Amino acid sequence: MNIVCIGGGPAGLYFALLMKKQNPEHQITVVERNRPYDTFGWGVVFSDQTLGNLQQADPPTADEILGAFNHWDDIEVNIRGHRVRSGGHGFCGIGRKRLLNILQRRCEDLGVRLQFETDVQGDEQYPEADLIIACDGLNSRIRTKYAETYQPDIDLRDCRFVWLGTHKKFEAFTFAFEETEHGWFQAHAYQFDEDTATFIVETPEEVWKKAGLDTMEKEEAIAFCERLFAKYLDGHSLMSNAAHLRGSAQWIRFPRVVCQTWVHHNGRQPVVLMGDAAHTAHFSIGSGTKLALEDAIELARCIGRQPQDLGQALREYEAVRSVEVLKIQNAARNSTEWFENVARYVSLPPEQFAYSLLTRSQRISHENLRLRDREYVEGYEDWLASLAGVRRAQGRQPIPPMFTPFTLRGTTLKNRVVVSPMAQYLCADGVPADYHLVHLGARALGGAGLVMAEMTCTSPDARITPGCPGLWSDEQQAGWRRIVDFVHANSDAKIGMQLGHAGPKGSTRVPWEGEDQPLAEGNWPLLAASPQQYLDGVSDWARPMTREDMDRVRDDFVRSTRHAAEAGFDWLELHCAHGYLLSSFISPLTNQRTDDYGGSLENRLRYPLEVFRAMRAAWPAHLPMSVRISAHDWVEGGITPDDAVEIARAFKAAGCDMIDCSSGQVSKRQKPVYGRMYQTPFADRVRNEVGIATMAVGAISEADHVNSIIAAGRADLCAVARPHLANPAWALLEAAKIGYRDVAWPVQYRSGKQQLERNLEREKAMAAMPAPVRAEEG
């Protein structure tokens, strides 16, 4: 096969040597525009896992790379005079030039033709090639030429950064954060050879401009960075090796590149993207070179498996790598956004700031950190518990973050787990009876700190379905009182009431008879901020509320609030999310009013805030009150996370204690981006920008998720829904899974606790045995 690699970076060189090694008969040429052994940049980073992949693919190359690496296990975070260090991270640094030199020599040894100082204009220059690899970098000409096929999406990120070097030696991968009158700057520093380290300086573009760096000459800007980070440099200077760049051009905005496809057929041969031409991952997770080399490994492997069917090999390569790359890019996006918003987190205590940094990508979780550095994690758990006012007893286990108490106003929850409000649709005339006693009572016994009742309606016409619970009558209050008394008498959980009004989404069948479908008979009139059909052409029309309607509905909420207090609930939440009545005022998708309750966000919030203030005045002052919001409508023109911050500020000013950050369900046109903990970033942002407690919801399904969220300060509570439907004792099971035994079970169930813990320990021991031993045991 005749193969041409356009671009002599790591991707092109490594693919060339792997293919030549696979079949010496291949004619392989790598074309590079720079001179031999010429490169820009300083050091690159690999994880121990990446080194393992290289060792399997080509041991001679891996051995030489490993011999040139500077290896470290520690990450050090410096902020406000504090230094936090954790170990076990397993990273290696190597100079980019050294890496390329190793790959170039290996190519030459194997007989790959290296052609330097050749600026390729296009793939048409190589009509004789059977395969063209376009690894021509970030600004790929080939990708641009065939953009219609590759469909690149290039997102220029918010920060400016400059890639510098220094002879200061760093014992750990070091992050340093310094505040100026203009804003925050951060440095990423790591040693990559015996006497040189990479030193990247980064800051949001707005701060970069305020500091005047956009008009400084290169030498002046480097001097600025030296002064700013002097205490970390110990008198050493910073250096640039980008002689071709002048002034502010050395400060780059990182482009996130995502391509829909990686293979183009130009009529002569396939043209395959690889490395930065196909995808980029922010330098803060150190995966750009890793991705390039692993692209090369996978494509060589696919071709080697089916050398007679190149088309199938390319399809397999794209299918496998696109999934793996997307995982890294999603993690890189999380990391990028964290560094773009450092100012959001600097008010956290230094210990928590460092933990938030370590877990920013969501690839590293609480238990993963424990595997890396148990001493660090246990020390952090003790520190976090002390903030909650508890300390572990002598000889006892550290308290996991999810099992630390939480106090709001006069209510203390024993832990951070909340049974999310989950509609059951099994009430008659809005009265909760035996089913709800068993449903909520079982979950109160199951270990959660707070059990929330499902959305409970303030009037008959406020219901979603005829099966929804209510709290507008004495009979309903008595039904709820029975449940609350059971929870208080038989568990140490607290119980909360969520009040809401279905608005335009009301008068429908229970879901198992037709979700969101109007009732066949017995429908009631619907209200909304503006005329609306939730399901176009299907739902009944909701009419816009008059001032008289607003007064009546507000008073209904107040009446239900008083009933909730009389019933003995510990917590009250107002439902302002998911397209229900109050949500219909907040979202511009559903509020088209032209009076004082429409238009600006301030106006759209006017009525929900009016309802909240009236409820807060009627609710006991010593008890907390939260508000559930849709922090993102997932529809263009709808509520955005930026709006969510302002919504939270408005409710905080009105006396709200916590924001329950959900999203969506306002429009059927929504396009959510799902994933584990996918709504947690909304809670994170609201908590750390507004300074109000938050509850995270959505795809939180294991203790590790809850521990990571709470420990990082992304939320104060975690609401868990579907896992609690599957197992009312979810919190107790998760405690046993992570090996935490100092959690209280109901005395009647304690024998089950012991058996569960023994069985889980046995499963762990079996899983750790070598496969043949396990087979013999079976």
**Could you give the count of Cα atoms lying within 13 Å of 127 in the half-sphere of its Cβ?**
2
Q: What is the pLDDT of residues 195-212, one digit of tens each?
A: 999 999 999 999 999 999
- The Cα 477–Cα 567 span in angstroms is 6
- The Cα 266–Cα 146 span in angstroms is 9
The strands making up 131-134's β-sheet, listed across from edge to edge, are: 113-115, 27-31, 2-6, 131-134, 270-273, 263-265
Q: What is the pLDDT of residues 742-751, one digit of tens each?
A: 999 999 999 9
Strand extents, DSSP E, 382-541: 406-408, 411-413, 417-419, 450-457, 494-500, 526-528
Whole-angstrom Cα Rg for the chain: 30
Beta strand pairing call for 91-95 and 70-72: antiparallel
547: pLDDT strictly greater than 50:
yes
Q: Where are the alpha helices (DSSP H) in 388-495?
A: 434-445, 474-490
Quick one: average pLDDT of 585-604?
A: 98
Quick one: average pLDDT of 460-471?
A: 98
- The Cα 643–Cα 690 span in angstroms is 12
- The Cα 578–Cα 665 span in angstroms is 5
Amino acid 105 reads R
Q: How far is CA 198 from CA 94, 162, 169, 226, 361, in A?
A: 10, 11, 10, 14, 21
> What angle (nearest 5°) sits at the alpha carbon of residue 214, between those of residues 211 and 220?
75
Quick one: average pLDDT of 694-710?
A: 97
* Largest CA-CA distance found in the chain, in angstroms, rounded: 88
Q: Where are the alpha helices (DSSP H) in 590-640?
A: 601-604, 606-618
Q: What's the pLDDT at 245?
A: 65
> Three-state secondary structure along 296-329?
HHHHHHHHHHCCCCHHHHHHHHHHHHHHHHHHHH
Quick one: average pLDDT of 129-136?
A: 96
**Could you give the count of Cα atoms lying within 13 Å of 474 in the half-sphere of its Cβ?**
0
Contact 579, 590 (CB under 8 A): yes
Quick one: average pLDDT of 657-662?
A: 98
- The Cα 591–Cα 637 span in angstroms is 12
- The Cα 501–Cα 545 span in angstroms is 13
- The Cα 171–Cα 47 span in angstroms is 16
91: pLDDT strictly greater than 90:
no
pTM over 0.85: yes
Beta strand pairing call for 152-166 and 197-204: antiparallel
Q: What's the pLDDT at 391?
A: 92
At residue 581, the 3 state secondary structure works out as: helix
Q: What's the pLDDT at 765?
A: 87
Residues serving a catalytic function are 580
Q: What is the pLDDT of residues 331-366, one digit of tens each?
A: 999 999 999 999 999 999 999 999 999 999 988 999
pLDDT band (50, 70, 90) for residue 777: very low
Pick 218 or 37 by higher pLDDT: 218
37: pLDDT strictly greater than 80:
no
CA of residue 775 relative to chain centroid, distance? 39
Helices 606-618, 641-653: axis angle to 10 degrees equals 40
Q: How far is CA 559 from CA 18, 551, 565, 669, in A?
A: 74, 12, 10, 35
In the chain, what are the helix, strand and coil shares in percent, each to the nearest 5? 45, 20, 35
Quick one: average pLDDT of 293-317?
A: 95
- The Cα 655–Cα 505 span in angstroms is 28
Contact 689, 631 (CB under 8 A): no
Residue from 706, 686, 624 nearest 417 by CA: 706
Q: What is the pLDDT of residues 108-125, one digit of tens each?
A: 999 999 999 999 989 999
At residue 51, the 3 state secondary structure works out as: helix
Q: Which helix (H) or strand (E) holds 704?
A: helix 703-711
Q: What is the pLDDT of residues 760-771, one digit of tens each?
A: 999 988 887 775
Contact 275, 292 (CB under 8 A): yes
Contact 730, 447 (CB under 8 A): yes
Quick one: average pLDDT of 22-46?
A: 84
Contact 700, 678 (CB under 8 A): no
Q: What's the pLDDT at 113?
A: 96
Quick one: average pLDDT of 689-711?
A: 97
Q: What's the pLDDT at 775?
A: 41
Q: Is the dihedral of CA 516, 518, 524, 527 positive or negative?
A: positive
pLDDT band (50, 70, 90) for residue 773: very low
103: pLDDT strictly greater than 60:
yes
Q: Where are the alpha helices (DSSP H) in 262-309?
A: 288-305
Q: What's the pLDDT at 36?
A: 74
Q: What's the pLDDT at 69?
A: 81
Percentage with pLDDT > 90 across the chain: 87
How crowded is residue 60: how many other Cβ atoms within 10 Å of its Cβ? 13
519 exposed, middle or buried (CB, 10 Å; 0-12, 13-18, 19+)? middle
What value does the mean pLDDT of the chain take?
A: 94
Which phi and psi angles does 445 have, rounded to 5°? -75, -15
Which phi and psi angles does 481 have, rounded to 5°? -60, -40
Q: What's the pLDDT at 681?
A: 95
Contact 540, 526 (CB under 8 A): yes
- The Cα 189–Cα 200 span in angstroms is 6
40: pLDDT strictly greater than 80:
no
216 exposed, middle or buried (CB, 10 Å; 0-12, 13-18, 19+)? middle
pLDDT band (50, 70, 90) for residue 82: very high
Per DSSP, what are the bridge partners of residue 398?
none
**Stated length of the chain:** 778
518: pLDDT strictly greater than 70:
yes
Beta strand pairing call for 173-180 and 75-79: parallel
- The Cα 625–Cα 619 span in angstroms is 8
Residue from 131, 130, 147 nearest 139 by CA: 147
pLDDT band (50, 70, 90) for residue 46: confident
38: pLDDT strictly greater than 80:
no
How crowded is residue 637: how many other Cβ atoms within 10 Å of its Cβ? 11
> Three-state secondary structure along 125-194?
HCCCCCEEEECCCCCCHHHHHCHHHHCEEEEEEEEEEEEEEECCCCCCEEEEEEEECCEEEEEEEEECCC
Q: What is the pLDDT of residues 488-498, one digit of tens each?
A: 999 999 999 99
pLDDT band (50, 70, 90) for residue 243: low
Q: How far is CA 224 from CA 213, 221, 598, in A?
A: 9, 5, 49
